[in-house]
C-alpha cells in the first residue's frame, strides 16, 4: 500500500467545517431564492412533483455567475466585458434516461413548469404520492474564500496590470515585437437541492491571467505563452507572479526561434513536470470517467483490479486541493469533493463517478458530478488529475536518454476514448543525445495509446508539480475548469511524428 500523502500537494484534509458551509448556504439563498420569493419549501414541493411519477432521482441546480474580462493587444486594452447569467436546471433520472429542463426565470411558476415537464420521463404515470425527506445540509469543504474576485481590484488597476505585462515583456528582450494579455475573473454562486432532501451550496471565485508574446529574429516569428490563476482574489497577481509569467512566455518564444525540425520515429520520450500532465488528463483521465466505463466504451472498462500501468505509476483525481482551479467544495450534484485514487502502483482501483453512473454501477459517487452551467446536465468530469512523484532526479532521467525527445510543454491534442489512441503536439521540446540536450525542436507530435503508454513508463521523477492554473476541459460540448500535474516521466518506445 503506497503512502499517498508523501508526494501529494498540500490540501485541506478534513476541512469540512459546519460554519462556512452554513454561511455559503445562506449566501446562496439570499442571492438565488429570496429575491424571487422562493424558499426551501418551494424546492421540496417541486422535487415532490417530480418524484411522484416514480423517477429514480431528481435535482434542482440554481446558479448565478458574474464574469468580467479584459484584453490587451498592440499596447492597448482593446476590450472589456462584463456579464451576468442566472437560472435553474431541473433534472429527473429514470434508469439510464435523463429528462432535463432549464430556465433563466427563477420564479415559482417557471420552476414548477420545469418540474412537470421532466417528470414525464417515467413510464409509471401519475397518482403516486411521495414524501420528500426533510431538508438536510450537505457536508462541504472550505478550500477557498467565498469572495467576489471582480471587486478585489478596480478597473484602473486592472488596465494598469495588463499594461505592466506589455511593458515588462518589451523590456525583457528587443526581439519581442508583440504582446497580448488577458485578465478574467468570475464569481459563481450555486445551490443544489436533491430529492433525498440534501441541500448544498458553493461560492466559487476564479481568476486567470494569460500572457502571449511574439518574438522575431531574421524574419522568423515564434510564439510563447504563459499564465495562471486559481480560486483567489486578483491580488494574487502581484509583481513577482506577473514577472514570472512574462519571463516564461518570453523564454518560450526565444527558445522556439532557435528550434530545428523535429525528428520522427519510435524513440524514448521524456515528459517534463507540471503542464505536460495534460497528456495524462486526456489520454488516461477521460478513459477513467464512469459513463464511458459503464457503457463499455473505454479502453479501461472492466479492468478494476488489473495492472494497467507500470509499477510506481499512481494517478489521482483530487478536488480537495486548496485554491486550485479544478477544486470544488461540493460538486454540481451537492456531493463533497474527494481525493480519489484511480491507479495505484500500476493497478486500476476505480473510476470517476457522478450520481447517476455510480447508482447504475453499484458504487458511491466520487464528488465528480460537474456541469458547465445551470443549462447543462451533470456528468462525471475530472477536477485536478495528476500522477504522484517517484524517486528519480529529473536531471538523471534526461541524462538516461541515448537518443530521444524531451518535451516540456504541450499545445492541443486529440484522444479516442474507445481505443485510447492520442495525438499531441509539443509546443516546446528538445532533442537529446547521450544524455545532453542538443537543441530545441519544432513540430514534434506524440502519437500513442494511453493505456499502453502507461505500461512503458520506466522512470518517474521526484519533481511532481501541478500546472499554474490554466486548464479547461471540454466534454460533450461542456467546458469546466480543471488542473493537471505530473513529475518528469520517461516513456520508452513512443512514436514521434516530426518534420525533419
At 334-387, the pLDDT tens digits run: 999 999 999 999 999 999 999 999 999 999 999 999 999 999 999 999 999 999
pLDDT of residue 13 exceeding 80? no
pLDDT of residue 17 exceeding 70? no
Confidence at residue 419, expressed as pLDDT on a 0 to 100 scale: 86
**Beta-bridge partners for 66:** 84, 187
Distance CA 289, CA 300 (A): 9
Please answer whether residues 488 and 271 qualify as being in contact, where contact means their C-beta atoms are separated by less than 8 angstroms.
yes
pLDDT tens by residue, 384-441: 999 999 999 999 999 999 999 999 999 877 888 888 899 999 999 999 999 999 999 9
pLDDT tens by residue, 82-130: 999 999 999 999 999 999 999 999 999 999 999 999 998 875 555 455 5
Tell me the mean pLDDT in the region 15-25: 75
pLDDT tens by residue, 292-317: 999 999 999 999 999 999 999 999 99
Distance CA 408, CA 271 (A): 6
Higher pLDDT, 7 or 414: 414
14 Cβ neighbours under 8 A, 6+ residues apart = none
Confidence at residue 143, expressed as pLDDT on a 0 to 100 scale: 97
Neighbours of 61 (CB within 10 A): 26
Total-model pTM? 0.92
Distance CA 256, CA 274 (A): 20
Task: Enter the C-alpha cell of residue 327.
Answer: 477544486
Q: Strand ranges (DSSP E) for 115-274? A: 136-137, 176-194, 198-217, 220-230, 260-261, 265-271
pLDDT tens by residue, 218-256: 999 999 999 999 999 999 999 999 999 999 999 999 999
**Beta-bridge partners for 429:** 407, 441
Confidence at residue 131, expressed as pLDDT on a 0 to 100 scale: 59
pLDDT tens by residue, 442-476: 999 999 999 899 999 999 999 999 999 999 999 99
Task: Enter the C-alpha cell of residue 175.
Answer: 526581439
Tell me the mean pLDDT in the region 251-266: 96
pLDDT tier at 2, thresholds 50, 70, 90:
very low
Distance CA 190, CA 25 (A): 9
Confidence at residue 124, expressed as pLDDT on a 0 to 100 scale: 58
pLDDT tens by residue, 123-176: 555 545 555 577 778 788 999 999 999 999 999 999 999 999 999 999 999 999
Confidence at residue 417, expressed as pLDDT on a 0 to 100 scale: 85
Return mean pLDDT, the chain.
Answer: 92
pLDDT tens by residue, 50-73: 999 889 999 999 999 999 999 999
Amino acid at each position: 500500500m503506497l503512502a499517498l500523502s508523501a508526494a501529494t500537494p498540500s490540501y485541506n484534509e478534513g476541512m469540512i467545517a459546519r460554519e462556512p458551509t452554513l454561511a455559503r448556504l445562506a449566501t446562496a439563498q439570499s442571492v438565488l431564492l429570496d429575491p424571487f420569493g422562493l424558499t426551501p419549501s418551494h424546492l421540496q414541493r417541486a422535487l415532490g412533483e417530480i418524484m411522484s411519477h416514480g423517477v429514480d432521482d431528481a435535482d434542482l441546480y440554481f446558479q448565478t455567475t458574474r464574469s468580467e474580462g479584459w484584453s490587451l493587444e498592440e499596447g492597448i486594452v482593446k476590450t472589456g466585458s462584463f456579464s451576468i447569467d442566472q437560472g435553474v436546471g431541473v433534472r429527473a433520472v429514470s434508469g439510464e434516461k435523463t429528462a432535463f429542463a432549464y430556465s433563466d426565470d427563477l420564479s415559482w411558476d417557471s420552476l414548477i413548469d420545469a418540474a412537470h415537464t421532466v417528470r414525464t420521463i417515467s413510464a409509471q404515470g401519475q397518482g403516486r404520492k411521495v414524501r420528500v425527506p426533510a431538508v438536510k445540509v450537505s457536508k462541504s469543504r472550505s478550500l477557498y474564500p467565498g469572495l467576489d474576485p471582480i471587486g478585489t481590484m478596480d478597473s484602473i488597476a486592472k488596465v494598469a496590470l495588463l499594461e505592466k505585462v506589455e511593458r515588462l515583456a518589451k523590456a525583457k528582450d528587443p526581439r519581442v515585437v508583440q504582446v497580448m494579455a488577458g485578465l478574467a475573473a468570475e464569481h459563481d454562486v450555486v445551490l443544489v437541492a436533491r430529492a433525498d432532501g440534501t441541500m448544498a451550496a458553493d461560492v466559487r471565485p476564479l481568476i486567470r491571467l494569460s500572457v502571449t508574446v511574439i518574438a522575431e529574429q531574421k524574419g522568423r516569428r515564434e510564439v510563447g505563452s504563459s499564465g495562471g490563476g486559481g480560486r483567489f482574489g486578483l491580488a494574487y497577481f502581484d509583481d513577482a507572479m506577473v514577472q514570472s509569467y512574462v519571463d516564461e512566455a518570453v523564454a518560450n518564444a526565444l527558445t522556439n526561434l532557435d528550434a530545428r525540425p523535429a525528428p520522427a520515429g519510435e524513440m524514448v520520450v521524456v515528459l517534463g513536470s507540471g503542464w505536460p500532465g495534460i497528456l495524462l488528463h486526456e489520454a488516461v483521465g477521460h478513459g477513467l470517467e464512469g459513463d464511458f466505463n459503464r457503457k463499455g466504451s473505454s479502453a479501461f472498462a472492466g479492468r478494476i483490479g488489473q495492472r494497467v500501468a507500470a509499477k510506481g505509476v499512481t494517478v489521482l483525481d483530487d478536488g480537495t486541493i486548496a485554491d486550485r482551479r479544478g477544486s470544488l467544495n461540493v460538486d454540481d450534484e451537492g456531493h463533497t469533493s474527494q481525493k480519489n485514487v484511480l491507479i495505484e502502483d500500476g493497478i486500476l482501483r476505480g473510476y470517476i463517478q457522478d450520481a447517476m453512473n455510480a447508482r447504475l454501477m453499484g458504487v458511491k459517487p466520487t464528488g465528480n458530478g460537474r456541469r458547465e452551467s445551470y443549462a447543462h446536465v451533470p456528468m462525471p468530469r475530472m477536477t485536478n488529475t495528476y500522477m504522484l512523484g517517484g524517486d528519480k532526479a529529473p536531471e538523471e532521467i534526461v541524462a538516461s536518454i541515448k537518443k530521444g525527445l524531451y518535451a516540456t510543454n504541450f499545445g492541443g491534442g486529440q484522444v479516442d476514448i474507445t481505443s485510447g489512441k492520442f495525438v499531441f503536439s509539443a509546443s516546446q521540446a528538445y532533442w537529446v543525445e547521450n544524455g545532453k540536450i542538443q537543441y530545441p525542436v519544432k513540430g514534434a507530435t506524440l502519437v500513442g495509446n494511453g493505456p499502453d503508454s502507461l505500461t512503458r513508463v520506466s522512470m518517474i521523477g521526484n519533481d511532481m508539480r501541478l500546472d499554474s492554473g490554466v486548464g479547461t476541459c471540454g466534454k460533450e460540448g461542456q467546458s469546466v475548469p480543471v488542473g493537471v500535474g505530473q513529475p518528469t516521466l520517461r516513456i520508452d518506445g513512443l512514436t514521434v511524428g516530426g518534420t525533419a
